[in-house]
Amino acid sequence: MNTKSKKHLFKPCFLLPLLILICSNGFAQNTLISEMEELKWEKVMPGIWKASFGEMGLNPIDYANEPKIDAIKALGDAPFPFDQNASRSLLTPNRANVRLPLRETEQIYGLGLEFEGINRRREVYTLKVDHYGGIKGYTHAPVPFYISSEGYGVLINSSKRVKVHVGVGNRKDSSLPERIDRTTGKNWPARPLSDAVEASVEGDGMEIYVFAGKTTLEVVQRYNLFFGGGIIPPKWGLGFWHRMHTKSSDQDVLQEIQDFEDRDFPLDVIGLEPGWQSFAYPCSFDWDSTRFPNPEKFVQTLNQKGIKVNLWENPYVAPVSTMYKDISPFTGSHTVWLGEVPDYTIPEAQQVLLKHHQKNHLSIGVSGYKFDEVDGYDVWLWPDHATFPSGNDAVEIRQLYGMMMMDMFDRHFKEQNQRTYNLIRSAYIGASNHNFVLYSDHYDHEGYVTALANSSLSGLLWTPEIRSANSAEEWIRRFQTVSFSPLMMLNAWSSGKKPWSFPEVTDLVRNTIELRMKLLPYLYTAFYEYNQKGIPPFRAMVLESGFITQETLTGGELDDAKNPYAEQKRLEVTDQYMMGPSILVAPVFTGQVERSVVLPKGNWYDFYTGEYAGNGETITIKTKLEEIPLFVKDGGIIPMLTTLDKKSDQTLEVRLYGSKENTFLLYNDDGVSYDYERGEFSLIELKTTRDRKGQLSGISKTLKSHKSSYGTIVWRWMKVPQ
């Protein structure tokens, strides 16, 4: 959404009189909950309501896309999901505050990209765009949207840093749990149960949106659809990405490509790191003439081989840049690494950047970017007191910087009817319709898997990229995880590693990449569902029906050194997730000879053998170095390519699991343009039905023909006699 008009205009309401009531003894009175302003909810679409109070600065929603109204309508209407009377707002001299009800049994998920935990209850988050770490909520994508296990979601729409108390912080006048004496009582809680989510910003107001849903997944769908649904990446984006060492030259790249070919490794995208530029940190955005003397010929050579080029950059402009003179009038008071910081809330500044990039990169065939350092640490980035020529607040500009970059480039690519897939290190509200995937410097394999699950709760895509490893085992384990993620990438910017850097596992690495690529018809269709219905292609288990989400707390023994407040720990499943409608992915970490997998209700089958694995239970499996554990839901229909040869007729093997009748709507299109939005795509219905003897058979029916359609279909029944 780039025009400022729209639905998001807020209606100020004036609450201050309550606050300035000074009583006779000279102290300001506390405002009671009953005296706080009741939020006035206005229905904006079926199952979506909005309330606002006070005034806000930049509106984050201006950098998201337009709602998919028909798809939202198709989800149907729903009643307002909680007690409206219990939703209150308060403006204090420095903060805008909101209080929303929370029931004892409710669990809360979301709040953006996090590397730890899925459940957010009993925590405090300071949602600040940051290079991750230290404080809860300081992360690449601190999205102020939470989902309740009771089937609704709340978005605090503000470009300020939102501080959220999720069921902690008990007001005197709220409903309080029983008080327990710590000396004599059992179960004294360090965090007594509170009956609210309380959130505030340092600012003068906010908007709040509520999204209903019969399930947590439907809540996420409404949220994503409200911002245009998800993206469908170009097909090349779902292939293999290799980022070169930062000092690489054009000749090094050509040699590397040859090495990929010689070793029979798929390669779809080459990423160039800082060294492609004549100056970096801050950036010139201009090609380095010694390492890349003829960029046009270089990019075209790669494109002719079917390989795309992606360029790294951070936003900070070096004086040697050819765009410096034009952008400098639109930059802020402070520098980052001595480079100037463009104020992209100003349309002219956007034009300078787009014009420069179109001329120097995109017009010669560059496919997209990796926008680094749009999050940053305080010690690197501009301070909160920096000023910008637009007059917009430095805190808000930082919170929205990544969104502004995504929105500006997405619009530019779309104008050329060209799809793109990129990387970025910060995102915020309503990012699902942006063609960008998040990544991090934080390199923890287990945290990466948790982030993969969490990202689905906030309209984000995340790549657990590989950089290096301490052993061949770690190498293959990380490769297996990244092969089952939105963007499969080796980022060798500093390590200079190649997929074959650990020869003991080279074949296994190739196999896992190839398996991912053969699953393209399944995965591409999952992205179509993301686009049309808002269903994330990679999902946290809490979005899966039949998955038990009750809170389990454990431990809580007093330990003077480690646990002086005898706090309990939450047991939860953070190391598995769903891919597409029916595959459960359970990555293995270095050293794990076995692992447990929590199977939701319903029958589940081993992807590789078709063997029955369990139903609504926790199973323990022995790990195999050559396989990432994958389980398929009963009735799972998995269309796969039989060969990666792009010139083949695209024969499909359609695997069938279990014994349930099912339907899979297989999607395809040209893979590169936005023509699909004008109906240029194919749809094949893959259906399993039971005959009179009880035998299941597969039937395919073309529902919408188009030149992109697949070739012959070969059914493969994976059922193993029991």
Give φ, ψ of 210 to 5 degrees: -120, 135
Is position 273 an interface residue for ligand GAL (rule: CB under 6 A)? yes
- String marking each residue 618-647 x if it binds ligand GAL according to CB under 6 A: ------------------------------
# binding residues, ligand GAL (CB under 6 A): 9
The residue written with tokens 């004599």 in the block is 184
- The smaller minimum CB distance to ligand GAL, of residues 311 and 519, is found at 311
Long-range contacts of 618-621 (CB under 8 A, 24+ apart): 620/594, 620/595, 620/596, 621/586, 621/594, 621/595, 621/596, 621/597
Among 493, 577, 605, 667, which residue interacts with ligand GAL (rule: CB under 6 A)? 493
- The smaller minimum CB distance to ligand GAL, of residues 222 and 425, is found at 425
Consecutive H or E run containing 65: none
Which of helix, strand or coil describes residue 312? strand
Quick one: DSSP state of residue 361?
T
- The amino acid at residue 574 is T
Binding to ligand GAL in span 231-250, by CB under 6 A: 246
- The smaller minimum CB distance to ligand GAL, of residues 95 and 498, is found at 498
- The smaller minimum CB distance to ligand GAL, of residues 288 and 373, is found at 373
Is position 339 an interface residue for ligand GAL (rule: CB under 6 A)? no
Which of helix, strand or coil describes residue 400? helix
Tokens read off for 41: 């909810």
Least distance from ligand GAL to the Cβ atom of residue 373, Å: 6
Least distance from ligand GAL to the Cβ atom of residue 412, Å: 22
Least distance from ligand GAL to the Cβ atom of residue 683, Å: 38
Q: If 0-12 CB within 10 Å is exposed, 13-18 middle and 19+ buried, where does residue 279 land?
A: middle
- The smaller minimum CB distance to ligand GAL, of residues 441 and 504, is found at 441
- The smaller minimum CB distance to ligand GAL, of residues 54 and 274, is found at 274
Among 476, 513, 455, 434, which residue's Cα sits nearest to residue 65? 434
CA distance 121 to 607: 34
Among 274, 499, 580, 587, which residue interacts with ligand GAL (rule: CB under 6 A)? 274
Least distance from ligand GAL to the Cβ atom of residue 312, Å: 5
- The smaller minimum CB distance to ligand GAL, of residues 147 and 466, is found at 466
Q: Are 641 and 654 in contact (CB under 8 A)?
A: no
The residue written with tokens 């709760």 in the block is 457
Binding to ligand GAL in span 352-391, by CB under 6 A: 372-373
- The amino acid at residue 643 is T
The residue written with tokens 């710590």 in the block is 182
CA distance 108 to 232: 29
Is position 285 an interface residue for ligand GAL (rule: CB under 6 A)? no
Is position 491 an interface residue for ligand GAL (rule: CB under 6 A)? yes
Least distance from ligand GAL to the Cβ atom of residue 77, Å: 44
Binding to ligand GAL in span 426-455, by CB under 6 A: 441
Among 152, 285, 312, 324, which residue interacts with ligand GAL (rule: CB under 6 A)? 312
Examine residue 12 and say whether the peptide bond preceding it is cis (omega within 30 degrees of 0).
no
Q: Is the alpha carbon torsion for 513, 515, 520, 522 positive or negative? A: negative
- The smaller minimum CB distance to ligand GAL, of residues 330 and 493, is found at 493
- The smaller minimum CB distance to ligand GAL, of residues 198 and 373, is found at 373
The residue written with tokens 């431990």 in the block is 555
- The amino acid at residue 76 is G
Summarize as ranges the residues that interact with ligand GAL (CB under 6 A): 246, 273-274, 312, 372-373, 441, 491, 493
